[in-house]
Amino acid sequence: MENEKKYPLKKVLMICSKGNLEDVMAALVMANGAVMEGIETKVFFTFFGLDAITKKTMNKLHTATVGNPAMRMPGGLPFPTLLGGLPGVEAGVTKMMKKGMDKLDIPPVDEFLELIEAGGGEIYACKLAADMFNLKKEDFHETVKAIITVGDLYAMCDGLGTQIVFT
Amino acid sequence: MTIKAIAGLNIEVTEEGYLKDASAWNKDIATAIAKEEGLELTEKHFEVLEFIRNKVANGETLTIRGIGKSGVVDAKTFYQLFPGAPLKKATKIAGVAKPVSCM
């Protein structure tokens, strides 16, 4: 086993298909982490994930308080789904999440994208989803390099040591 | 324990080549480690290294975001100064422990 040859990761493509705060953050943390390690990184946003790169919505993402069995009250008690549906609860929980992230030096979405771009990472929007939601290049944050097709995305996966991560 | 000869001194380092004792560091050591990493250090590099050493000495967590907001360099320049894995490279050259941050 000791002599087994290792093939380090060289390129990673993150696909973010969801628009709630925690899923977007997961994709961005993974992408930024790859950039930090010197791994070539491309992030592809599709479907509701487009919210994370749309100027109007990107810094207003919410944590889902309904249908999330891992949600807990601050003391650790289970968080009833019915409570999650009450007006203002989602906003309150989101505020708490954002506060927690700020403490850990996790930036807001726009700044996070800029950080990834600063390290050489590339941000893309999915053509099909953009068409579906009637979004144009100018609706997206300036870090978005292009609107591309699935075929374009796969064409970027050339070379050994490439991985696609779907979130 | 690994002892490595760096810039004419015997320095205790970790398996990955990070200095065990940050106080054993000097500019010649930085230059020698940087050379191993394929880097020629400039004034700007030393400014960043100084900032990193101060941060670590104060027990603060290092992040690329934090360095980018330090006023010493922005994130893009930091990536350019220490290409590849900047936080790992810069801390190694600065003679401090390998950072454990995900950010």
Encode pLDDT of B83-102 as tens digits: 999 999 999 999 999 998 88
- ipTM value, please give it: 0.90
pLDDT the model gives residue A2 = 63
* E-assigned strand segments in chain B: 2-6, 9-13
Q: What is the mean pLDDT of residues A36-60?
A: 97
Spatial distance between the Cα atoms of A30 and B88, rounded to a whole number of angstroms = 17
Encode pLDDT of B32-87 as tens digits: 999 999 999 999 999 999 999 999 999 998 999 999 999 999 999 999 999 999 99
Encode pLDDT of A133-166 as tens digits: 999 999 999 999 999 999 999 999 988 899 999 9
Among residues A153, A119, A123, which one has the least CA distance to residue A37? A119
Residue A38 belongs to a domain with what CATH number? Answer: 3.40.1260.10
Contact A30/B at CB under 8 A: no
Encode pLDDT of A18-46 as tens digits: 999 999 999 999 999 999 999 999 999 99
pLDDT the model gives residue A33 = 96
Spatial distance between the Cα atoms of B103 and B101, rounded to a whole number of angstroms = 5
Residue A77 placed within a domain: no
- CB atoms A119 and B102 under 8 Å: no
Q: Dihedral angle at the C-alpha atoms of B73, B77, B80, B81, nearest 10 degrees?
A: -20
Burial A31-61 (b: 16+ CB within 10 A, else e): bbbbbbbbbbbbbbbbbbbbbbbbeebbeeb
Mutate to test the interface with B, among A9, A12, A39, A105 (most CBs of B within 10 A): A105
Count up the domains in chain A and report the number: 1
**pLDDT at A1 exceeding the cut of 70:** no
Bridge-based pairing state of the strands B2-6 and B9-13: antiparallel
Q: Using the 8-state DSSP alphabet, how is residue A48 labeled?
A: G
Residue A140 placed within a domain: yes
Q: Which of residues 13-42 of B touch A (CB under 8 A)?
A: none
SS (H, E, C) B20-44: CCHHHCCHHHHHHHHHHCCCCCCHH
Residue A81 placed within a domain: no
Q: How far is B68 from chain A (nearest CA, A)?
A: 9
Q: How confident is the model at residue B9 (pLDDT cuts 50, 70, 90)?
A: confident
Please check whether residue B7 is in contact with residue B28, taking contact to mean a CB–CB distance below 8 angstroms. yes
Angle between helix A21-36 and A89-103 (nearest 10)? 20
Task: Give the residue carrying structure tokens 């290294």.
Answer: B49
pTM over 0.95? The answer is: no
Residue A86 placed within a domain: no
Q: For residue A38, give every residue at least 6 positions away whose Cβ sits within 8 Å of its Cβ, in sequence order, or none.
A: B83, B84, B85
Q: How confident is the model at residue A67 (pLDDT cuts 50, 70, 90)?
A: confident
Domain ranges of chain B: 2-93
pLDDT the model gives residue B1 = 67
H-helix or E-strand containing A126? Answer: strand A122-126
Contact A2/B at CB under 8 A: no
Q: Is the dihedral of CA A11, A15, A19, A23 positive or negative?
A: negative
Q: How far is CA A144 from CA A44, A113, B69, B75, B98, in A?
A: 9, 9, 22, 18, 32
Residue A127 placed within a domain: yes
- CB atoms B79 and A119 under 8 Å: yes
